[in-house]
Amino acid sequence: YWKSPEFLAWLYNESPVKDTVVTNDRWGKGSTCLHGGYLTCQDHYLPNQLPTRKWEDSDTIDKGGSYGYRRTITSADVLTPSEAITRLVQVISKGGNYLLNVGPDANGKIIPLFEDRLRQIGIFVWAHSEAIFATKPWIFQNDTATSPVWYTSQLRNTTGFDPYRIYNPQQQQNTIIYAFVLSWPDDNKVNLTKVIPTSSTVVNLFGANNKFIPMTYTQQNGGIQVDISGLGMPKFPSPYAFVLKIEYAADQNVNPVG
């Protein structure tokens, strides 16, 4: 009925964009989570581990699941900035794209409630863009299954690396690690158990006004512990999460998708 096989055959073999087109996996029965340029599977899809394919989390700001606009919506029905930012961090740490749907009203306007959420998310993303855009998953996605710490990474030099690689390796001189901390630790100590330090390891906090704040750390249980005591909220770009930039950590040979 949809003529999906015929259309896809034309799209990938004969169309003017056949060499560059990207499609999702929603093309009919038996295609979702299997076929396509990237996987979306079902709405609100968040895999438990790092996938071997590019993927997207199709989410909506309405907790009720609506992708349209509901006139009866209340503040309690909408994702909080903290919930949306947490979801964003979890998605990018696993190599996904975060699609957050916002439904305009009948006049095509974004209501103030939605606008507030988008502005708060935007402030966080803008302040931490280095740790979000042009990054890839690290060899570890999070510290532990219950930890509030999630990672992304970037390479200083990508010469010789597959541009379509799923994750970045951990090389002391080449890899930059970004640790997203989603909740403030009660003891003001952030434990990064997956980061093995060297004598050259440097830790900086993404601070307000696009400034980095040097942080002190100690070696703890094979990883590092970063002391954030004395840092008040004015020094943080966002009240919902903060990000640490770690450079020159030790080499590690781990395959997260193996």
Q: Which pLDDT score, from 0 to 100, does residue 233 have? A: 55
Q: Which pLDDT score, from 0 to 100, does residue 158 have? A: 97
Q: Which pLDDT score, from 0 to 100, does residue 139 have? A: 98
Neighbours of 221 (CB within 10 A): 8
Q: Which pLDDT score, from 0 to 100, does residue 210 have? A: 86
Q: Which pLDDT score, from 0 to 100, does residue 54 have? A: 94
Q: Which pLDDT score, from 0 to 100, does residue 73 have? A: 94
Question: Which of 78, 97, 131 marks a domain boundary?
Answer: 131
Looking at the fold, whether 23 and 62 belong to one and the same domain comes out as yes
Give the model confidence (pLDDT) of 138-154 as tens digits: 999 999 877 899 999 99
Q: Taking the model in full, what pTM does it have? A: 0.94
Looking at the fold, whether 103 and 147 belong to one and the same domain comes out as no
- Domain for residue 258, yes or no? no
Q: Which pLDDT score, from 0 to 100, does residue 1 have? A: 82
Q: What is the per-residue DSSP string for 100-129?
A: EE----TTSPPPHHHHHHHHHHHHHHHHTH
How far, in Å, are 5, 224, 232, 236, 237 from residue 184 at the CA level? 50, 17, 11, 12, 14
Q: Which pLDDT score, from 0 to 100, does residue 28 have? A: 86
DSSP 239: S
Question: Which of 131, 148, 183 marks a domain boundary?
Answer: 131
Q: Which pLDDT score, from 0 to 100, does residue 209 have? A: 86
- Domain for residue 166, yes or no? yes
10-residue mean pLDDT profile of the chain (258 residues): values are 91 97 91 92 94 95 94 95 97 97 95 95 96 96 88 98 96 98 91 96 93 93 90 77 97 91
Looking at the fold, whether 41 and 127 belong to one and the same domain comes out as yes
Looking at the fold, whether 14 and 126 belong to one and the same domain comes out as yes
Looking at the fold, whether 127 and 143 belong to one and the same domain comes out as no
How far, in Å, are 33, 88, 120, 180, 219 from residue 247 at the CA level? 36, 23, 28, 15, 15
Looking at the fold, whether 79 and 150 belong to one and the same domain comes out as no
Q: Which pLDDT score, from 0 to 100, does residue 232 have? A: 62
Q: Which pLDDT score, from 0 to 100, does residue 48 have? A: 92
